[in-house]
Structure 1
Amino acid sequence: MSEPISNIDPAQLRRAFGMFATGVLIVTTRWGERIHGMTANSFTSVSLNPPLVLICIDHKASMKQALHDSGHYGLSVLAHDQQHLSRHFSSRGSSDLEVSFDELGGMPVVQGALAQFSCRITQAPDAGDHLIFIGEVTDYKHNTGEPLLYFGGGYKQLHKPQVMEACQ
């Protein structure tokens, strides 16, 4: 890794990055005999032909090794009522929360998610303190509903403007 740029405050930079609203997703894979998952918001569609997406995983995250070992990952774009799942997969340690998974292209994906993707890792270039896992989409599903959003350090929902009735 390169030396940090001295005039950039990482905490302030994180706050600035947080001004970009994103969706929230769960990255999953099979690692050994268990399903391994984590919350992420660094997801980008890269290409339609071939169908490619990318996710960014911190070098310190155990998911990095799980993805290297598996070679595949599932992505579940969370709906507005799935904030509890985002919190569950972003914390370390055990929880009593029962998570229901669907199977898509051999990968576990969260039931009820707005969109689900199964991906085969094609590249994993190093980028600073993260790895970029580029995946070829091998299968996908999508549903209707409202997304769970993350902005400014907190969860958000889409605002639906109220339609005013015409005065009579």
Structure 2
Amino acid sequence: MQVEQIDARVFRRVMGKFATGVTVVTFEHEGQSSGMTANAFMSLSVDPPMVLIAVRKQARFAASVAPGDAFGINFLHEEHQALSSHFGGRPVLQTPEFCTLAGSPVLAGALVQLAVRANAVHEGGDHLIYTADVLALEESDGRPLLFYSGTYKHLHALDPATCWFDLG
């Protein structure tokens, strides 16, 4: 079987067509709370509760977090676009507000905050894949910030009272 050569820019653009929530992974780097925006996140297991993230091998996270280390995962509210940009390499905030959940740094006011502990790291091309056990979680109400095709999007729910469906 011959594998087609795929241009990295085309692959990135096509993968951008998969809508994702926006997460910020928070961790301790050189004694300071730090973070990075990541969309390579997923729930891995319900029993026991586990998640998975993938980060570039060159990321500060990869140099800071090893198996056994705690870190946080934060789902952003739709109004947190500035936080996403800040932790995505375009700093726009003076000092993001961190707090602690079960010993892990997390972002104050995030839609969801997960405190996790890395249990394994696997190589995956130019990324490292971390599996982590969920130690604690907090959630709030609101709509998530979404990312699709290179831009931020917002979730808009239809009002069932104004929708009409022909089921026959």
Normalising to structure 2: TM-score of the pair?
0.88
Secondary structure at the residue paired with 1:44?
strand
| Pair 1:53 & 2:51 matched | yes
The list of structure 1 runs, each at least 4 consecutive aligned residues, that deviate by more than 4 angstroms after superposition, is: none
Measured against aligned partners, the alpha-carbon deviations of 1:77-123 in whole angstroms (never above 9, x if no partner) come to 0000000000000116x655221122101111111111110111100
Structure 2 gap ranges (5+): none
Decide whether the 8 Å contact of 1:71 with 1:120 is kept in 2.
yes
- Deviation of the 1:71 alpha carbon: 1.5
| Superposed CA RMSD | 2.1
- Deviation of the 1:165 alpha carbon: 9.4
Structure 1 gap ranges (5+): none
1:90 corresponds in structure 2 to 88
Q: Equivalences for 1:1-168 in 2 at 5 Å?
A: 7-68=5-66, 71-91=69-89, 96-161=93-158, 164=162
| Aligned residue type for 1:50 | P
Aligned residues: 161
How far apart in 2 are the matches of 1:119 and 1:139? 7
When residues 73 and 36 of structure 1 are mapped into structure 2, their CA distance, relative to the original with a 3 A threshold, is same
| Aligned residue type for 2:136 | D
- Deviation of the 1:160 alpha carbon: 2.9
How far apart in 2 are the matches of 1:96 and 1:75? 19
Normalising to structure 1: TM-score of the pair?
0.88
- Deviation of the 1:159 alpha carbon: 1.9
Moved more, 153-162 or 7-16: 153-162
